[in-house]
Every structure is written in C-alpha cells, then in structure tokens.
Structure 1
Amino acid sequence: MKHFIGANRGQMTFMPYDLEEWLPQDHLARFTIEIVDKLDFSRIYVQYRRTGTAAYDPKLLLALIFYGYSTGVFSSRKIEPATARRTAYDSVAFRFIAGNQHPDHDMIAGFRKRFLGEIKGWFKGILLIGKELGLVKLGNVYLDGTKIQANASKHKAMSFEYMKRLEEQLELEISKLLAIASSTDETEKPEKMDVPAELRRREDRLEKIKQAKAIVEARATERYRQEKEEYDKG
C-alpha cells in the first residue's frame, strides 16, 4: 500500500500544550475527522504511485477541505496558513485536523481539482451521516429539519421520494460550497455545531458514526434497488 503522510494528532509536543485539550469534544473538527476516517478511499489510494516521496493522506486533505468549506473558508491559500498558526481558536481546529502537517495551497487546490467528482460524493456521505445522527447542521451547512431515526430496521420504511428529496437537497448544498470554493471566495465565520448531548463522548460518538454509516449505505442500496425496479418496468 502507498505510504502516506498522515496526521499525528496524538503527539504531545508539537504545540506548547497538548493539542487534545485545545478543542472541546463536540467540536466540528473532531466530528469531521471521525467521519472521514470511516469513508472508503481504497479506489483513491490505488491512484497514487508507490514510488517517490510520500504523499499527504487524501483523508487528511479531505477533512481540511470539508471543515474549511463548511465553516466559510473556501480559499486554499487561507486553509494553508491556518494549519500553521498557533493563536486563533479556529486556526487551532485546522491545525488539529492537519495533525502538525502543513500541506501547501497548491496541494490542497490540486487535490480538490483532481478528485472533484469524488469530493462531491464524500461530502454527501458526510452530510448524510450527520443527518442520520440527528444533527441540525454541520458548520454552516443546514441539514433537513426532519430527524431520521438512527435505527437500521427502519430504513426500508423510509419513502423513496423522501430519500430522493433529501439527497437532492444535500447535493444542492454541496454544489454551492464547491462553486464558492472554485472562485476562492470566503463567506461566513465558523459557527458552533449543534451536537446532541449523547454524541459528545468520543467513544459513543464513534460507535454512532459507524452505525449511521451502515444505515446510509443500506439506504443507498435500497434506493438503487427501487430505481432498478422502476427502470426494468419502464
């Protein structure tokens, strides 16, 4: 497998204090890396050459981009220095995600351009998992107001039309984010994420993310089955 430069968020000495203590447990940066870590990058990893210098882990770059876009930081030139600052609270979040690594703006922008299609799918996956967990919004991205119950046994009962509307809504939000990013614009400042109390404990949150991901995948399979049935009848 290709050797990647990954984040080292457990290192104790790369900041004056333990970086783990700089962000609250319910911070969007933590939530972002935990969800991104669950996404399947196997098809992306094989596209990297197995020789030469190590590349930055695509999961690290995606987490930086998603956190930046969802909190109003769209320019790769603004994301880059944020991974190196030690002062502003929100820059610490970028530094936490980067894990003491410092990808430059060309690397960040190049990754976005190279994997634009995949990024759209990853963003939708992140938002669907957040929706499944009952979150109202991720950063500045509002999710549908109706909470989906995190119960795998209920996913078949969800209406086909509702599933389509939800995904269309999230795809529209993603398109807006990527359109702004393509012009390197910058909008609102980060807002605090509304996290249910039961998700604030990390160990519980990781398990709930795993469960939510399984439900999202099962729902996607069900949607494909229904679409295929409609097509075959057609």
Structure 2
Amino acid sequence: MNMNFDIYIEENSQVKMLNDVINEIYYTADYTVQSKWMGDIPDDIMMKILIFGYMNGAFSSRKIEQLCKRDIYFWWLLEGSKNPDHSTISRFRKKMGEQIERVFYDVVRYLLKMGEISGENLFIDGTKIEANANRYTFVWKKSVAKNEEKLRAKLPAVLDEIDSAFGIRFPGNTPVPDMIATLSSLMSKVGIVRVTGKGHHKSSYQKALEKLEEYSEKLAQYEYYNSLFDGRNSFSKTDTDATFMRMKEDHMKNGQLKPGYNIQAAVEGEYILGIYISSERSDVNTLIPFLEKLNSLELFVLKNIICDAGYESEENYLYLRSHGLTSYIKPVNYEQQKKKNQRTKYGRPENMEYHELGDIFVCEAGRILWRVGTKHEKSKTGFVSEKAVYRCESCEGCPYRQNCTKAKGNKTLSVSHRFKELREESLENITTDFGRQLRMNRSIQSDGAFGVLKQDHGFRRFLCRGNKNIRTEFLLLAISYNIKKLFARFKSRF
C-alpha cells in the first residue's frame, strides 16, 4: 500500500477543508501550537481528530479511537503520529479548557473573513438536551426544605435525651459538631466503650450520641444540597449541574421531567455564531447573559436580535433598547390576538380603552377603572417591574362580568405601562416587511441548526457530565457543524 495518503484523499473533501481551517487558526501570529499534549501527538492534530470525529457522528472516545485505527482520513490527519487510544482522546477533550472555546470563536472569525456572515442579525433560540445522568436520582428543593424543617424540629427531643443520659444541657446556638465532640470526650473519660453487632447492649449514652450523629449527618446532607441548587428547583445526584426539565423526546409519553441542559445558540447565515449553556428551564432569563458574553468578545457589531415569544420580558426589552439593539421579539399574545374570541375576553387591558390624561381604563360596559396604587414585582434575576393597579368603580350588575373577572369583588387590573410600550414597539418592528422576513427566517436559521444537530448528527444526549465538560462537548459539535456547512456552501458554488 502506498503510504503517501494524499493520493487517496480527494481534493474537494470535508477533511481537507477542516485541515485548512484549523491550520490557519493555529498557525497565525496570535495562536501558536502549544507543547505536545500526550505522547507524540501535537494539540492541533488532536483537535482535528476530535472535530472530524464529531463531523462523522463519532462522539465517544472509543469510537474515535477505532476510526483512527482503520479510517484513511484519520490516518491522513495524524500525519504519521501514533494512533491515540481512547483514554488519551478523553483526557484531551476533558482538559483542553478554554482552548476549545477559543478555537470555536476563531472559526467564527474565519467565517467573518470569508464573508459568510456579517454578525448583524442574530437569530437566537434554545433547545433542551438530556444530560448523562440517572433520570430517577432527583433532588427537589421543596422536598429538601420540608425535610430539613422536620429534622430541625426533632432537635429539642434529641437534646432532652442527651440531658437525661449525660446530664448536660447545651445552649440552642451550640454547633452540632461541638456537641458530638464534647459527648465523645465525656464517654471516653468515664470509660464507656462504643459497641456494635449482635449480643452487645448499647448504653443510654451511646444511643443518645448516635441519635445526635444521625441528626448531624442528615443536616450536613441538606446543607450540601442547598449549596448545589444555586437558584434552581432541582438537580440530579449523578450530574449535579443538570436540572430536571420537560423534554420533547419523552420515552414514557407521560410528560416526565428529565435531567438536562438548556442550550442557547445564536445563528446567522445558518452558521452557529455563539453558544451559551444554561440550567434555566425557560429561555427568558438566558438572553441577557448570552448577549453580554457575545458583546465581551467584540467579534461583530450586533444590530438586530430576533427571538421567539419565549424571550419576551420587560427586562429583556430594556436591555436591548439601552444597548442600541433593535428588538424583533414576538409578543406572547401575538397569536392569541388573531383569534376572534379574544375580543370577548373583556377583562384584558388590551380590550379596554385607556385614557392617559385621567390615567383610567374604561371597560366594555363603560365603567371606569380608577388607579388605586402602584406595586413592584421582583423577578428571579432581581429586576423590579413597576405596575399600576386599577380597580373598577362597581362591577355589580355588569352584563359582561362572566367574561371579565372571577373575583367576588370589583375587577382589579395590574398594568406595566413601560412593558406595554416596549411590547408595542417590538410588535411594530416584526410587522414591517423587513421584520416579517426576519421572523420567517428565524425558524429556518435557529430551528434548522438544532434540527441538523439532533436529527442528522444524532446528538440527543450528552456523553460527559458537568457544566464545563458539557460546554466543551457542544462547542466541538458546533465547530463540526460550521465546517460541514462551509464545505456544503463551497461545494454548491463550484
């Protein structure tokens, strides 16, 4: 067999395009090849092997190892280096750290240089991918709080047993570990030996001490669980960074929650320009940190942000306006307002007349809702929204009451005028000719990218665990997606 593998590799191939892109990235002045990672294989070759493996649907280190042994394209990428084993590939993927993120955004810079993208229109969407975690080892925040409260209520009874056994009364603020140390020391002084197993009778001292130790162990466990929630309501014991979410892929067909991650992607020209890994179950709180990250990279000048209704909030609208970004977010009630029966829901503020001069609403029956106060609502992120509160002068005998309110008293309405103004501005943007084009394009861009990754690449569940490893794994997937898309574009042009 001719060992010059170049004669077996066609000139117009994915592997050669990958090789050219990674070589240009690694051998520029500001990106030099680091010292050899494992054995005799340099970093850039290991990176090519990993990315090409992901391009061919090989996500596990063992499968990539097999390809390195028997696939001629991998032989060509190795450039005569020894075939890496699966542990070498796994260690490289796990420990590459910020290097993989740098490679990803350098690929985005490469696409900018080639004129494939502009970075002006960002189509943002999210998808949920299942974590590599047991579906039934869940921990719920409410259950932990409930059990912790029950446990703390048992402490006085435990202290009473200690008092009857040892004759010691600890103050209520004494740390439990200090109590255990004091009692253990006291047992040693009086010569009481702890016994275990059949045929041994435990003394009252030992029983009291063991109850306190059991209490301390459970309390420490609950405190550890609380430190892991970090604003979440649940996590998996086998991957503590994974949160239980509803997935579209439901193997039991019963709406079961599964541990997963919320993957946010910014797409333009069908290329993935940025990713953000979140443990949030909804998309609304992911937009601002994602845009902050993209702005900090200074890769491109953002202009238009196109999202679906899941990203609509007053906080997001204000952020986009303050940063000079045009909002193309579809309002939550956009589709509902098109329905005929929406006009008969008289209790909604959009179906009432608002008079700014008197700051009043007039309902369908012609009765006035006077402003009676202001309330402030704080979101999960700490954002405070100001809402004006209105109350009807009298709902007694109103013919529209059944379709207006279920309250026993008079109708009460809470309205954020600032949010209403921002929503109308975004609605005006998406109903222009340019806005309609962007909105139609959004489902092709972002949904199309996720569809390719999940269906064509077959990536529906992570192999690694932990937020850091998940980020590395998805960045590799995004790089492979972008290079395959670039190859398809070039192939169609020539």
Q: TM-score, normalised by structure 1?
A: 0.49
Please say which structure displays the higher CA radius of gyration: 2
Identify, as 1 or 2, the structure richer in helix.
Answer: 1
Relative CO higher for 1 or 2, CA cutoff 8 Å, sep ≥ 6?
Answer: 1
Q: TM-score, normalised by structure 2?
A: 0.25
Identify, as 1 or 2, the structure richer in strand.
Answer: 2
